Structure 1
Amino acid sequence: MTPDQATPLLDRVNLPSDLKGFSDTELRQIADELRHETISTVAETGGHLGAGLGVVELTVALHAVFNTPRDRLIWDVSHQCYPHKILTGRRPRAKTLRKGGGLSGFTKRSESPYDPFGAAHSSTSISAALGFAVARDLGASPEHGLGDVIAVIGDGAISAGMAYEGLNNAGHLKKRMIVILNDNEMSIAPPTGAMSSYLSRLYAGAPFQEFKAAAKGAVSLLPEPFQEGARRAKELVKSVTVGGTLFEELGFSYIGPIDGHDMEQLLNVLRTVKARADGPVLIHAITRKGKGYAPAEQAKDKGHATAKFDPATGEQKKAPSNAPSYTRVFADYLIREAEADPLITAVTAAMPSGTGLNLFAERFPDRTFDVGIAEQHGVTFCAGMAAGGLKPFCALYSTFLQRGYDQVVHDVAIQRLPVRFAIDRAGLVGADGPTHAGSFDIAFLANLPDFVVMAAADEAELAHMVATAASIDDRPSAFRFPRGEGVGVEMPERGTPLEIGKGRIVREGSRVAILSFGARLSECLRAAENLAARGITPTIADARFAKPLDQNLIRDLATNHEALITIEEGAVGGFGSHVAQFLSDEGLLDTGLKFRSMVFPDTFIDHDSPASMYAAAAMNAPDIEAKVLKVLDIASLAAERRA
C-alpha cells in the first residue's frame, strides 16, 4: 500500500446516511478505501488491526443497508470497530485512537450515538441486542422509533457460554433481531473447541458452498423464485449434517455461509433480511482476519494488536527494553517449575500469547489447555484438575478473571482447592482503558477465606511468587503482576518459595512508613530519594501478601512511626482496607498513629499512557511525596511538591 493513496469516495462520506447515494459498485470501492484508511490510522496509533480489516466490507454493507443509529448496530468485543468509527463521523479524530483525550479503541456509548452499547469483553452482543429488541417492542425510547437490532459476533466469542444463553433466550422470545456470525476462524489465538470444529466443517468443502447455503438457508426469507429450489435441496440433504442445524434448533432462521468479503452477496442478503425477517435471524459470514494487508495476513495472530508500524512493510516500531516483560518472566519461571514437577498444568482462556502460555505449550503441549473464551469453565476446569491431584495454574488477565468470579468462590475457595491464579495486566494498562484495567482483583480475592493473595513488586519477586504458588498445596492462591517490562533487577536462576504472609523491609527510615503492595514499590523508592533531600527518610516496605497479612511487620511499622501509608494498584476495599481493619482490631489507631491508604480513585480512568493514567490516579512518585508531606503536616512543602 502507499501512504498517500487517494480516497475520493470515502472523502464524501461523513455519516452512514451518505452511503445511501452510492451504487453497489461504488460501495465496493469505498470498502477498499476504508481498508486503506484503517491501515493508515493504526500505523500511527497502534491498536487492533486484523479484526477491523476482516469486517471492512461487512461494515460498509451494514451501514449502507440499515439506518444507524436508529437501527442499533452492536459490535461484540468491538476491537473490530475502527472502520465503523471512520464511517460514523469520527474520521477527523481517527488518529487520536487510544490516545489520552482521544477516541476509545472500543465502542463507547458516551462517544457517539452510533455506539449504542459499549464493549471490550466478548460474548455480550447477543444478550444486549435482545435487550434492545425487547425495549423497542415494549415502546421504550420512542424518539428512536422501531429500528432493527444487529449484533456482530466473532466465531471465538460465540464459543462462550453467555453467547449461547443469549441465543437460547432470543430464540424463545422470537423477537425480530439479526445476529451476524463473523466467522474468521480466529479470535486472538486460533479458536479451540467443538464449536470451532463445527463451523470449520461448514465450509471445509469449497465446491459445496452454494449447495449448503441453499439447503440450509432460511427458505422463507429468500426471494420467491428461489424458495422451491431451496426446499428441494433441503430435502435432498436432510440426512446430512450441514450448516445451521444448531442455530435453527435454538430458534433462529439460519442464512449462510456467505462470503463476508463479497459486497454483492452481503448487500443482497442484508437487504432481503431487512425486508422479510419477522423473528431472530443468524447470518453466517466467512471472513479473513487481517484481510487485504499482507503483513497482517501472514502474522500468526493475523495482526490482532500492534504497536505503531510502517504501513509499507508492517514493521512495528517498538522501543527496545533492557528488562524482560512480566509476562515473559511468568512464562519462563513456570516452565522451570514444570520441568521439576510433572503435575503442573497451565490453563488460559483464548489468550495463550497474551499470558505467555504459548511458550509453556511449546515445552509441555500435553499439559497446556486453552479453553477458548470461557473463563467460567476455565476456573472450574482447574478446580477439577486440582481435586484430581494436579497443580493447575490458571493464567488470566485481571479484567477477564472477573468473568469467572462465581466459580472462584463456589468451586475453588469454598472447597479450598489449590488452584493457582496467575493474574496478568494488574493495575492500569494504558491505551485499552478502563475495560481492561486490573482494578478489582485484590478486593474480590482478598475477602475470600484461606486465599493467598500476592503481588509482585518487580520481576524477581514474580519469579519467587511463581515458585511460592507451586508450593502451596492446601488452599487456593493468586499472584498479580502488571503489563509491560520489569524494572531491570537481577534475576534468580529459579524462584524460591516465599514464607507465606511474610513481607520485607526494603529501606529503613523514621517518622513515616510506606507499605507497598505490588509494582508501585519503585515509585515509593523514587519518592523516598526525593524526600531524603529534604531531610525526611521514610521506611519503605514491600508487603508481598495482601492475605494473609504480615501482622508482625504492620505492627512494627505502626508502633515505630508517626504515620503509616499503604499503596496498591487497586480499588478501595483491597489491601489498605485489610490493613486498616487489622490496625483497628489491634487498637493501634488509638495510639495517635496517622494511617492513610493510597488506592485508585472511585472512578473509571479513561485510556491514556500508563504514566498519565497513574498520574490521574495520583499514584506516581510526586503524589507519594505529597502524601508523606501532608500526613506529616508539612503543608508548604506538600504544596511545593505538587506544584
Structure 2
Amino acid sequence: MSDRPKTPTLDRVHLPSDLKALSDAELHRVADELRAETISAVSETGGHLGAGLGVVELTVAIHSVFDTPRDRLIWDVSHQCYPHKILTGRRDRIRTLRQKDGLSGFTKRSESPYDPFGAAHSSTSISAALGFAMARELGGAPDPALGDAIAVIGDGAMSAGMAYEAMNNAGHLGKRLIVILNDNEMSIAPPVGAMSSYLSRLYAEGPFQELKAAAKGAVSLLPPPFQEGARRAKEMLKGMAVGGTLFEELGFSYIGPLDGHDLDQLLSVLRTVKARATGPILIHAVTKKGKGYGPAEQAADRGHGVSKFDMITGEQKKAPSNAPSYTKVFAQSLTEEAERDDRVVAVTAAMPDGTGLDLFAERFPRRCFDVGIAEQHGVTFAAGLAAGGMKPFAAIYSTFLQRGYDQVVHDVAIQRLPVRFAIDRAGLVGADGATHAGSYDIAYLSNLPGFTVMAAADEAELKHMVATAVAHDAGPIAFRFPRGEGVGVEMPERGEVLEIGKGRVVREGSGVAILSFGARLKEVMEAVEALGARGISPTVADARFAKPLDRELILRLAAEHEALITIEEGAVGGFGSHVAQLLAEEGVFDSGLKYRSMTLPDIFIDQASPGDMYAVAGLNAGDIEAKVLQALGVERLESRRA
C-alpha cells in the first residue's frame, strides 16, 4: 500500500460530476495523478496499459465537460478504459481488473451506468453512438433523458469498414453526433494501409497544422464577424495542403489535428463543441500510446498488453516457460513449410505479433500480409489468393474470425477455395473474458459443406496439422489451437501429413471410451489416471477431425464400449453434436449405448484464470472423471451401498 502513488486531487473525485467543481489547474493535477494510479493498478493486475495511458488527458477532458452518464460515452474496443473506470466510481475495485469476480478489462453495460455500450472488438463505437443519437431524437429513455452521444475511436479501429458504414449513415442523417478520433499511429501493431498514410499527411502538412493550432481547432471560437472569413481561409489552405478531408466528404465537420495531451486545448475545443455543435462532428486528437511511462513508450507495442510488472523498471513478471507456446509452434512450422513451398503465404488482420506471423514476416516479408483491422476483407483477400493459385494461411483468433463469417461462407466455402484457417486462442482464454473466448468456431465451421476442421491435442499435433493444411488443396481447411504453452511433448523434426478424417487411439481400455477433440486431452489423461484407482480403465482416442468425422473409429468405439463420452473446448452444436448425429443415423442408440457430450456450457463465462474458467465450464480432469462415473452409474451404485 505504501508504494502506491499519492493522489490528493484524484482522491476528491469519486464520480465525473466531481470534476466540474475543479479548476483547470486542478484538472491538470487530476490527469497526472490518474496516470500514476493507472500505472500502479496495472502493475498489480496486468492488462492493457499503453492504450489507457494515451487517453488520460482526453478522459479527464471528456468527463469534465460532458454530463456522463446522461451523455453516452462509448470507447471503441475499450482497451483504453481503465482511467475511465477510475473516474466513474470504480477506483476501489481497479486492482481487481481482469480477475475472477473483478472488473472487466473492457467496458461492460452490467458493470456501470457509465458504460452505456460494451465493447471488446473494434470499430463498433460510431454505429452504437449513432444509435444513441437517433434514440435521443426519437424520445427514447426519457428517465434520464438521453444527452450527447460521444464515440472515441482509434486510428487502427478506423481502418475497419464498419466505421465508414457508420460515418456514411451519420453524415446522411445529419444529427448531432461527436466522434473523437484518438490517433496514436498504432493499434496493437503499427497501423497499415491508406488510412494510416492519410492521417499522417493530415498532421504532417505544416500550414494546415499551424492554422489549426492557432485556431485551437475550432473556427467557432472566433468572434462572429470573423468566422466566415476564417472558414474561407481554412478551406482554401486546407485544399492547398491536403486536398480536402475524407471526413468532411462524409458529412462530418472536422476539427484537428489537436494535441491529445494538451489538456487546455482539449478542454477549449470540447467546451465549444458541447455548446455549439449541431450535426456530426469529428475531433482529431493525436496522442501517444504509453504516454508518461518510459517502459511503455519504449516497448515495441507501446505496452499494449502486459503481465504484472515492476513499476520502477517496467520488467514484467512472467512465469518461466516449460514448453513452447502453441502460437510459436504454429509460426515456426509455417515458416518451415514456406521454405519448402513458395506458394505458402500468410494473412493477418492487425495481429502479426499475436498470431506469430511477425516471425514469418521476418523471413518472408513479401509473402506476409497485414490487412489491418479488417477480418472480412482478410478472409476474401485470402480467397482471392487461393483462387490465384497460392496457399494462403489466414491466421486469425477464433473470436475475431466470427467477424468474417459471411465471407467464410460465401467467398470461401461455397467456392470450395483452399484457404487455410489457423485459428488461435481456441477455447477459453482467461483475463479477456467472454468477449475473447474461442467458443464457437467448431460449430460455425463444421456446419459448412466441404470444410475440413481439425483441432490440435498438443504442440506436436499442431505441427502435423500445419503440414496437413499445406498439402490440402481439396477445399477450405481449418485447425484450431489454444492460447499459451504446449504440454511439453517431444516435437517431430518435420510435420506429418495426416490422413483427412482419421483420428488416433491414444490408449486402449474397456467399458467406457473417451473421444477428445482438441487440447483437453491432457485433462482426459489425468482423469484416466484417477479412474484407474477405481479399477476403471477407459479407452482414449484423439478425434483430430470434427469434419469429416472418423466414422469407422467412432462406430467401433460405440460398438465395443458400454459408454462413449466426447469432449471439446467449444459450444453446444459442435463436435459432440456431429457425433450424436452419426450415432443416431446408424441406429447405435438402439443398442443401449450411453452417450455423453462434454462441451462449453450455454453461458458467457466472465474473466478469470483459464483454470477457473474451465472449472466453471465443467471441463477439467475432475469433471471428466465425474462424467465417466455418472455414465457408468458408479455414483448411484455407491450411493445405494452407503
Task: Tell me the TM-score normalized by structure 1.
Answer: 0.97
SS in 2 for 1:590: helix
Q: Distance in 1 between matches of 2:36 and 2:181?
A: 24
Q: Distance in 2 between matches of 1:180 and 1:237?
A: 23
Taking a change above 3 Å as real, the CA distance of residues 235 and 308 of structure 1, as seen in their structure-2 partners, is closer
Taking a change above 3 Å as real, the CA distance of residues 33 and 216 of structure 1, as seen in their structure-2 partners, is closer
1:208: how far off?
A: 4.8
- Is the CA contact 2:428–2:614 (under 8 Å) kept in the aligned structure 1? yes
SS in 1 for 2:353: helix
- Is the CA contact 1:465–1:479 (under 8 Å) kept in the aligned structure 2? yes
**2:499 maps to which residue?**
499
Q: Distance in 1 between matches of 2:245 and 2:174?
A: 17
Stretch deviating more after TM superposition (196-205 or 74-83): 196-205
CA deviations 1:562-592 (Å, max 9, x no partner) are: 0000000000000000000000111111110
What is the one-letter code of the residue matched to 1:367?
A: R
- Is the CA contact 1:214–1:233 (under 8 Å) kept in the aligned structure 2? no
Is 2:108 aligned against 1:108?
A: yes
- Is the CA contact 2:433–2:608 (under 8 Å) kept in the aligned structure 1? yes
Taking a change above 3 Å as real, the CA distance of residues 139 and 235 of structure 1, as seen in their structure-2 partners, is closer
- Is the CA contact 2:152–2:181 (under 8 Å) kept in the aligned structure 1? yes
Taking a change above 3 Å as real, the CA distance of residues 239 and 96 of structure 1, as seen in their structure-2 partners, is closer
**2:295 maps to which residue?**
295
Is 2:181 aligned against 1:174?
A: no
1:224: how far off?
A: 3.1
**2:138 maps to which residue?**
138
SS in 1 for 2:204: coil
**1:541 maps to which residue?**
541
**1:331 maps to which residue?**
331
CA deviations 1:46-76 (Å, max 9, x no partner) are: 0000000000000000000000000000000
1:210: how far off?
A: 2.5
Q: Distance in 2 between matches of 1:223 and 1:452?
A: 67
1:144: how far off?
A: 1.9
SS in 1 for 2:469: helix
Q: Distance in 2 between matches of 1:7 and 1:243?
A: 46
1:621: how far off?
A: 0.3
- Is the CA contact 1:433–1:607 (under 8 Å) kept in the aligned structure 2? yes
What is the one-letter code of the residue matched to 1:552?
A: E
What is the one-letter code of the residue matched to 1:592?
A: G
SS in 1 for 2:143: helix
Q: Distance in 1 between matches of 2:296 and 2:106?
A: 20
SS in 1 for 2:334: helix
**1:41 maps to which residue?**
41
**1:306 maps to which residue?**
306
**2:82 maps to which residue?**
82
Taking a change above 3 Å as real, the CA distance of residues 544 and 416 of structure 1, as seen in their structure-2 partners, is same
Q: Distance in 1 between matches of 2:214 and 2:452?
A: 57
- Is the CA contact 1:19–1:27 (under 8 Å) kept in the aligned structure 2? yes
**1:596 maps to which residue?**
596
CA deviations 1:333-371 (Å, max 9, x no partner) are: 000000000000000000000000000000000000000
Q: Distance in 2 between matches of 1:49 and 1:486?
A: 27
- Is the CA contact 2:216–2:269 (under 8 Å) kept in the aligned structure 1? no
Q: How many residues align?
A: 639
- Is the CA contact 2:207–2:237 (under 8 Å) kept in the aligned structure 1? no
**2:392 maps to which residue?**
392
SS in 1 for 2:313: coil
1:35: how far off?
A: 0.2
- Is the CA contact 2:308–2:316 (under 8 Å) kept in the aligned structure 1? yes
**1:347 maps to which residue?**
347
**1:265 maps to which residue?**
265
1:3: how far off?
A: 3.8
Is 2:489 aligned against 1:486?
A: no
Q: Distance in 1 between matches of 2:638 and 2:435?
A: 33
Q: Distance in 2 between matches of 1:639 and 1:543?
A: 34
Q: Distance in 2 between matches of 1:313 and 1:637?
A: 60
Q: Distance in 2 between matches of 1:252 and 1:326?
A: 45
Q: How does 1:206-225 map to 2 (within 5 A)?
A: 208-212=208-212, 219=219, 224=224
What is the one-letter code of the residue matched to 2:511?
A: R
SS in 2 for 1:353: coil
Is 2:24 aligned against 1:24?
A: yes
SS in 1 for 2:266: helix
**2:382 maps to which residue?**
382
Q: Distance in 2 between matches of 1:174 and 1:625?
A: 61
**1:552 maps to which residue?**
552
CA deviations 1:600-633 (Å, max 9, x no partner) are: 1110001100000000000000000000000100
Report percent identity of matched pairs.
78
1:4: how far off?
A: 3.8
CA deviations 1:390-416 (Å, max 9, x no partner) are: 000000000000000000000000000
SS in 2 for 1:355: coil
- Is the CA contact 1:202–1:243 (under 8 Å) kept in the aligned structure 2? no
Q: Distance in 1 between matches of 2:460 and 2:319?
A: 22
Q: Distance in 1 between matches of 2:417 and 2:363?
A: 26
Stretch deviating more after TM superposition (142-151 or 68-77): 142-151
1:228: how far off?
A: 4.3
Stretch deviating more after TM superposition (140-149 or 300-309): 140-149
- Is the CA contact 2:565–2:598 (under 8 Å) kept in the aligned structure 1? yes
Taking a change above 3 Å as real, the CA distance of residues 180 and 222 of structure 1, as seen in their structure-2 partners, is farther
- Is the CA contact 1:222–1:272 (under 8 Å) kept in the aligned structure 2? no
**2:191 maps to which residue?**
191
- Is the CA contact 2:216–2:265 (under 8 Å) kept in the aligned structure 1? no
What is the one-letter code of the residue matched to 2:500?
A: I
5+ residue gaps in structure 2? Answer: none
SS in 1 for 2:240: coil
Q: Distance in 1 between matches of 2:373 and 2:567?
A: 33
- Is the CA contact 1:38–1:83 (under 8 Å) kept in the aligned structure 2? yes
What is the one-letter code of the residue matched to 1:410?
A: H
CA deviations 1:185-223 (Å, max 9, x no partner) are: 000000000000000111124575222567995645755
SS in 2 for 1:43: helix
Taking a change above 3 Å as real, the CA distance of residues 222 and 482 of structure 1, as seen in their structure-2 partners, is farther
Q: Distance in 1 between matches of 2:501 and 2:564?
A: 19
SS in 1 for 2:515: strand
**1:318 maps to which residue?**
318
- Is the CA contact 1:213–1:243 (under 8 Å) kept in the aligned structure 2? no
- Is the CA contact 2:322–2:488 (under 8 Å) kept in the aligned structure 1? yes
What is the one-letter code of the residue matched to 1:602?
A: D
Task: Tell me the TM-score normalized by structure 2.
Answer: 0.97
SS in 1 for 2:529: helix
What is the one-letter code of the residue matched to 1:313?
A: T
1:481: how far off?
A: 0.2
1:488: how far off?
A: 0.2
Q: How does 1:30-69 map to 2 (within 5 A)?
A: 30-69=30-69
CA deviations 1:97-126 (Å, max 9, x no partner) are: 000000000000000000000000000000
Q: Distance in 1 between matches of 2:376 and 2:112?
A: 32
Taking a change above 3 Å as real, the CA distance of residues 222 and 359 of structure 1, as seen in their structure-2 partners, is farther
**1:620 maps to which residue?**
620
**1:530 maps to which residue?**
530
**1:14 maps to which residue?**
14
SS in 2 for 1:354: coil
Q: Distance in 2 between matches of 1:555 and 1:219?
A: 75
Q: Distance in 1 between matches of 2:223 and 2:620?
A: 63
SS in 2 for 1:479: strand
SS in 2 for 1:281: strand
**1:283 maps to which residue?**
283
What is the one-letter code of the residue matched to 2:456?
A: A
What is the one-letter code of the residue matched to 1:75?
A: W
CA deviations 1:282-341 (Å, max 9, x no partner) are: 000000000000000000000000000001110000000110000000000000000000
CA deviations 1:245-268 (Å, max 9, x no partner) are: 110110101111101000000000
